[in-house]
Structure formats: structure tokens, C-alpha cells
């Protein structure tokens, strides 16, 4: 049975990739090498970088599922219903009074074609992104969902990356490094997982995001645990978080420049002699007992 563990945070910069990369390293080195990481932060993937970057690429699959509106000006009667309907600011009016598509903003939602009185709007399929599977410098296998610039359908790209990971023979663990927030790609990372690890730092903004993620986990019926990262930057806030969340808090990690250096060197802290390693080991052992 494959066990999927998603790592998420309500905002960026709380240490989500730090936890995910080191958990993957720990499992691959000390528990079971039949594991793989999934970088589900498709707009800014960096899980492989945290593990030393790819040294070998097994596969690279382009995904074509996004759509962009196309206007047939031979049919267009300049009713401008499309311009007035689009809520993504993806249609401008040119110097001739014609509607023009701004592809970077177009969601391919179909609203403009529904209101077009001359059936002048169709859609073309464009590249959504790429799913990359390879091995990193420190030996971990990672599947990366890499969204194309101005690409959409991020959630489905994450789904494809997860399915790619689970196709690996005799796989035991999948560690999913989610995008920040609670949007579509995050839901796609969490749904169906066996466990959600939420990284929170002792700030109001981060804690608000943490509580939203807890609500998502409860709606999706996914078990969750919370790690307080950089807890010593605001002890009072950290104590409040632990008091309010209760037993679901499974560990605290102090702020350390060792973590900054490990990121700069693209070496997981579990591969160093930093004293932070002991804190992580205790947390990871607790995670794997759940």
C-alpha cells in the first residue's frame, strides 16, 4: 500500500519545502528507499533544488490541456459582449474597436463564446506545463509539476504528477510538497492523502492560513498534524498555537542559520551535522508512527 503524505502551509515562506525535502531524504536513507517526492507547487517548484537538483532525468512529459480564446474577425460583429463579460481582463479593445485576446490572462473558461452573438470565438489548446521525473544529487527521486508561464489547470497538472509518482513499481511512500495557500493545486495535493503536515510560523498571517488548511483537511476527511517552524521568533505566539491546536502539534523547530546555509548549498539539513537534525528526526519518527 502506498502512503501519501502532503506537506502544506497557509502562506509561503513558512518552511514547507524544508520539511518536505528533509522528510523525503530521511525516509529514503533510513526507512525505505522505495519513496518519491512530488513537487506540487507548480508555479514555483523547488523541491528538487532543495535536494541538490536533478542529476538524471528519467522522463519529461509535456501536458496540453489549457485553452485560449481565438476570435474570428470575419465573423465578429463588434458587439463587444465578450469584452463586457470577461472577468479576467483577458480582452482588450484595439485601435479599430475590435476585441483582442490577452493570452496571459485568458482562463479558457468559455464565458466569452457563450455571449458572442456571431459565433466568432473558438479555442485552441496550448501547453499547460511539464511533468519531470528524475533523480536528485542526494539520490531522491522527484516528480515535478512545472506550470507553463501563463498556464492554467494547475490542479490537474498536480494530479498528473501524483499519478506519475504512484506508477513507480513497489512504491511505499509519496511525499507531496504542496503549493502555499488553499487554492486548487493545494486541494489537488491534499485530497486522497493519508496525512497532511501543516507548517506554521508564529505570525498571525501564517496561523490564519494554518486554520484554513485545518478546515480543508476536515472537509476532505484527511488526518493532519502541525509543525511550528521558527517557533523561537515569537514564543508567546507559538504557545498560543500549541494551546489552541492541541495534540495535533507534533513538534517545534527553532530558527537557525544552518537551515539558510543548507538551502544555499542545496543540501538537506538531514545530510549535515546540524543540531536541527535531531529535532527533525524526532518529528519524522512521530509522523511515520501515525
Question: Could you tell me the residue ranges of all domains in the chain?
Answer: 3-64+129-289, 73-119
CA distances from 187 to 23, 41, 53, 97, 220 (A): 21, 12, 26, 41, 9
C-alpha cell at 270: 538531514
Residue whose C-alpha is closest to residue 116's, from 153, 156, 169, 73: 73
Pick the CATH number of 3-64+129-289 from 3.40.640.10, 3.40.50.300, 1.10.150.120, 2.60.40.1120: 3.40.50.300
pLDDT confidence of residue 1: 86
Q: How large is the C-alpha radius of gyration of the chain?
A: 22
Class of domain 73-119: alpha beta
Q: Quick one: pLDDT at residue 152? A: 72
Q: CA 271, CA 274: separation in Å to the nearest integer? A: 9
User: Which pLDDT band holds residue 154 (cuts at 50, 70, 90)?
Assistant: confident
- Which residue has 517557533 as its cell numbers? 231
Cell of 120: 466568432
Strands (E), the chain: 3-8, 35-39, 54-71, 91-93, 99-101, 121-136, 141-147, 173-177, 195-200, 224-229, 249-253
**Beta-ladder partners of 253:** 229
Instruction: Average the pLDDT over each of 18-32, 148-162, 246-260 and give the range with the smallest value.
Output: 148-162
pLDDT for residue 279: 92
Residue 112 CB neighbour total at 10 angstroms? 25
User: CA-CA distance, 112 to 105, in Å (whole number)?
Assistant: 13
Asked if residue 43 has pLDDT above 90, the reply is yes
How far is residue 6's CA from residue 71's CA, in Å, rounded to a whole number?
A: 41
Least confident of 10-14, 46-50, 92-96, 279-283: 10-14
Question: Which residues lie below 8 Å from residue 146, measured CB to CB, with a gap of 6+?
Answer: 42, 45, 129, 130, 131, 132
pTM: 0.91
How many Cβ atoms are within 10 Å of 278's Cβ, its own excluded?
9
Amino acid at each position: 500500500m502506498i502512503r501519501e503524505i502532503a506537506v502544506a502551509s497557509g502562506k509561503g515562506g513558512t518552511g514547507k519545502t524544508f520539511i518536505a525535502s528533509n522528510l523525503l531524504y530521511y525516509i529514503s536513507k533510513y526507512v525505505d528507499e522505495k519513496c518519491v517526492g512530488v513537487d506540487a507547487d507548480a508555479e514555483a517548484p523547488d523541491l528538487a533544488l532543495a535536494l541538490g537538483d536533478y542529476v538524471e532525468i528519467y522522463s519529461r512529459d509535456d501536458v496540453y490541456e489549457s485553452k485560449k480564446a481565438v476570435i474570428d474577425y470575419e465573423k465578429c460583429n463588434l458587439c463587444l459582449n465578450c469584452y463586457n463579460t470577461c472577468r479576467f481582463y483577458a480582452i482588450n479593445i484595439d485601435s479599430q474597436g475590435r476585441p483582442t485576446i490577452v493570452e496571459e490572462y485568458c482562463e479558457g473558461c468559455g464565458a466569452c463564446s457563450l455571449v458572442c452573438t456571431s459565433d466568432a470565438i473558438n479555442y485552441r489548446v496550448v501547453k499547460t506545463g511539464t511533468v519531470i521525473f528524475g533523480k536528485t544529487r542526494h539520490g531522491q527521486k522527484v516528480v515535478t509539476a512545472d506550470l507553463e508561464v501563463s498556464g492554467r489547470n494547475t490542479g490537474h497538472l498536480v494530479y498528473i504528477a501524483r499519478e506519475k509518482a504512484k506508477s513507480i513499481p513497489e512504491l511505499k511512500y509519496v511525499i507531496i510538497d504542496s503549493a502555499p495557500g488553499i487554492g486548487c493545486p493545494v486541494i489537488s495535493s491534499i485530497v486522497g492523502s493519508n496525512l497532511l503536515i501543516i507548517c506554521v510560523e508564529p505570525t498571525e498571517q501564517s496561523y490564519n492560513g494554518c486554520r484554513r488548511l485545518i478546515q480543508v483537511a476536515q472537509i476532505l476527511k484527511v488526518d493532519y498534524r502541525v509543525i511550528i517552524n521558527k517557533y523561537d521568533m515569537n514564543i508567546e505566539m507559538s504557545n498560543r498555537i500549541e494551546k489552541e491546536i492541541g495534540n495535533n502539534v507534533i513538534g517545534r523547530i527553532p530558527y537557525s542559520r544552518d537551515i539558510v546555509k543548507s538551502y544555499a548549498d542545496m543540501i538537506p539539513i538531514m545530510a549535515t551535522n546540524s543540531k536541527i537534525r535531531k529535532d527533525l528526526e524526532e518529528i519524522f519518527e512521530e509522523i511515520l508512527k501515525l
